[in-house]
Amino acid sequence: MQGYVTESNICCKKITYVTPIKHDYGDNYFKYSCPVCDALENPHQVSVGQKNCPLCNVNLFWENESEG
């Protein structure tokens, strides 16, 4: 699982971001899933650019992925 946590002097103000898992289906066709939900055996698809996972609400970090 990849991601990062924002810095803050107060623990409750830190924010966790995770990078969605990219699934390659060939011919430049990709789908993405939430790594937290995948780890909990609840796989589902997330859309590129989505800010949060719709099931677990974790913040998603879209590193180098274009919208759409």
Put simply, whether the predicted model's pTM sits higher than 0.85 gets the answer: no
Give the bridge partners for 4, in sequence order.
17
Nearest in space to 61 (alpha carbons), one of 15, 9, 10, 12: 15
Better pLDDT: 20 or 67: 20
Contact 16, 61 (CB under 8 A): no
What pLDDT was estimated at residue 68? 44
Query: Region 43-67: what's the mean pLDDT?
Result: 89
Answer whether residue 23 shows pLDDT above 80.
yes
**Amino acid at position 6, single letter:** T
